[in-house]
């Protein structure tokens, strides 16, 4: 089944109002490649302003709380993301799993809350370096999917991002064969667990840039990219979108 390529920028804790011009340039360039879905996930503080600066663009959050409201100082509910104009949210990023102790159950609850609020979800999985080196990466990632995939969902609103932790922000990338093997295993797992495997997009993330994007995006079962550092400027991000567009 042909799935539209999906290229998503995760700005992490970067970006002030002055950076909105980069977002406008990114979305303007993306508009010239209608075969590719492009989204940006800035910090919470910029979502509303980015939606206003780039009307109609797909703008998302980088996390949400699983609860609808309440005494959770510093947290943001999925409905609040919707309220500010977001249409998607990343859940389970390794910087949340590792830095904030989020478990698979937490990630599942967040994904379910986000879907219930009407958001699309990018659910991140990925192994640490020692697991890759010990040969256990596929089992590790499939266990994360078993534990964090929502019970039921619209497959058009869920994407999986495979992000090996050791590749994030390091300049290291797995071989194309390793990426294709992992994505194929994820696709098989999704088929077993949800029956919706053909529709769900599986993104690769970890040091994607304008030079390596074409090769990574062309690997088996890779439907797009989740991009951190190279998503902060149009100059670095647009070539990745162009690489996706060239692959149709």
In the complex, minimum distance from the CB of residue 8 to ligand PEP, in angstroms, rounded to a whole number = 9
Burial annotation 20-51 (CB, 10 A radius, 16+ → b, else e): bebbebbbebbeebeebbbbbbbbbebbebbb
Of 25, 21, 24, 27, give the one whose Cα is nearest residue 8: 27
Near ligand PEP by CB under 6 A: residue from 51, 78, 228, 242: 228
Select the span of 48-56, 96-104, 110-118, 202-210 touching ligand PEP (CB under 6 A). Answer: 202-210
Q: Tell me, yes or no, if 133 is annotated catalytic.
A: no
Closest residue (Cβ) to ligand PEP? 228
Query: DSSP assignment of 185-236, as one string?
Result: HHHHHHHHHHS-TTT-EEEEESS--TTTHHHHHTSTT--EEEESGGGSSHHH
In the complex, minimum distance from the CB of residue 201 to ligand PEP, in angstroms, rounded to a whole number = 15
The smaller minimum CB distance to ligand PEP, of residues 10 and 194, is found at 10
Tokens, residue 124? 């991140």
Asked whether position 144 contacts ligand PEP by CB under 6 A, the answer is no
The smaller minimum CB distance to ligand PEP, of residues 60 and 194, is found at 60
Asked whether position 229 contacts ligand PEP by CB under 6 A, the answer is yes
Catalytic residue (choose from 22, 95, 112, 163): 163
In the complex, minimum distance from the CB of residue 176 to ligand PEP, in angstroms, rounded to a whole number = 17
Give the chain's end-to-end CA distance (angstroms, integer): 13
Q: Tell me, yes or no, if 93 is annotated catalytic.
A: yes
Of 8, 18, 12, 19, give the one whose Cα is nearest residue 233: 19
Asked whether position 61 contacts ligand PEP by CB under 6 A, the answer is no
Asked whether position 205 contacts ligand PEP by CB under 6 A, the answer is yes
Which residues form the catalytic set? 93, 163
């Amino acid at each position: 089944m042909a799935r539209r390529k999906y290229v998503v920028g995760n700005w992490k804790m970067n970006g002030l109002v002055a950076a909105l011009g980069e977002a406008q340039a990114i979305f303007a360039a993306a508009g010239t490649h209608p075969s590719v879905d492009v989204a940006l996930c800035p910090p919470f503080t910029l979502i509303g302003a980015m939606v206003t600066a780039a009307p109609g663009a797909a703008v998302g959050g980088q996390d949400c709380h699983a609860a609808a409201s309440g005494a959770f100082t510093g947290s943001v509910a999925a409905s609040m993301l919707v309220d500010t104009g977001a249409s998607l949210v990343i859940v389970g990023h390794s910087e949340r799993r590792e830095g904030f102790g989020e478990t698979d159950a937490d990630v599942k609850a967040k994904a379910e809350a986000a879907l219930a609020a009407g958001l699309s979800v990018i659910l991140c999985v990925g192994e640490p370096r020692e697991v890759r080196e010990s040969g256990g990466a596929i089992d590790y990632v499939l266990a994360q999917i078993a534990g964090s995939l929502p019970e039921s969902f619209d497959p058009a609103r869920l994407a999986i991002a495979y992000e090996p932790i050791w590749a994030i922000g390091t300049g290291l990338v797995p071989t194309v064969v390793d990426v294709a093997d992992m994505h194929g295993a994820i696709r098989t797992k999704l088929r077993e667990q949800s029956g919706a495997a053909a529709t769900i997009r599986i993104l690769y993330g970890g040091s994607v840039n304008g030079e390596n994007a074409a090769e990574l995006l062309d690997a088996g079962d890779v439907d797009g990219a989740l991009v951190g550092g190279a998503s902060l400027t149009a100059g670095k991000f647009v070539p990745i979108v162009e690489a996706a567009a060239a692959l149709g």
